[in-house]
Chain A
Amino acid sequence: MAVKKFMYVNRKAPYGTIYALESLEVVLIGAAFDQDVSLAFIGDGVYELTKGQNTDGIGQKNFSPTYAALGDYDVNKIYVEKESLEERGLTLDDLQHLVWEDEDEDWAEKDSIRLVSRAELADVIADQDILLSF
Chain B
Amino acid sequence: MGLLHTVNKSPFESNTFDTCLGYAKDGSTVLLIEDGVYAATTGTSAADKIKNASGVTFAVLGPDLQARGLEGKLADGIKVVDYEGFVNLVAESDSVQSWL
Q: Does B79 contact A (CB under 8 A)?
A: no
Q: Does B43 contact A (CB under 8 A)?
A: yes
Report chain B residues within 8 Å CB of A58: 63-64, 67
State the Cβ distance, A17 to closest chain B Cβ, in Å: 8
State whether A89 touches B68 (Cβ < 8 A).
no
State whether B8 touches A94 (Cβ < 8 A).
no
Q: Which of B12, B34, B44, B62 contacts A43 (CB 8 A)?
A: B12
Q: Which of A17, A53, A56 contacts B68 (CB 8 A)?
A: A53
Partner-binding segment picked from A8-16, A105-113, A115-123, A126-134: A8-16
**Size band of the interface chain B makes with A:** 20 to 34
State whether A16 touches B34 (Cβ < 8 A).
yes
Known contacts A13-B10, A57-B63, A89-B41; A52/B34 CB under 8 A: no
State whether A57 touches B67 (Cβ < 8 A).
yes
Q: How far does the alpha carbon of A60 sit from the alpha carbon of B66 in the complex, in Å?
A: 12
Q: Which of A53, A56, A57, A60 contacts B69 (CB 8 A)?
A: A53
- Which residues of chain B have a CB within 8 Å of any CB of chain A? 8-10, 12-13, 34-35, 38, 41-45, 47, 62-64, 66-73, 82
- Which residues of chain A have a CB within 8 Å of any CB of chain B? 12-17, 43-44, 47, 50-58, 60, 62, 64, 87-90, 94
Apart from A50-B68, A58-B67, A89-B73, what 11 extra A-B contacts exist at CB < 8 Å? A12-B13, A13-B13, A44-B13, A52-B71, A52-B72, A53-B68, A53-B69, A56-B66, A57-B66, A58-B63, A90-B43
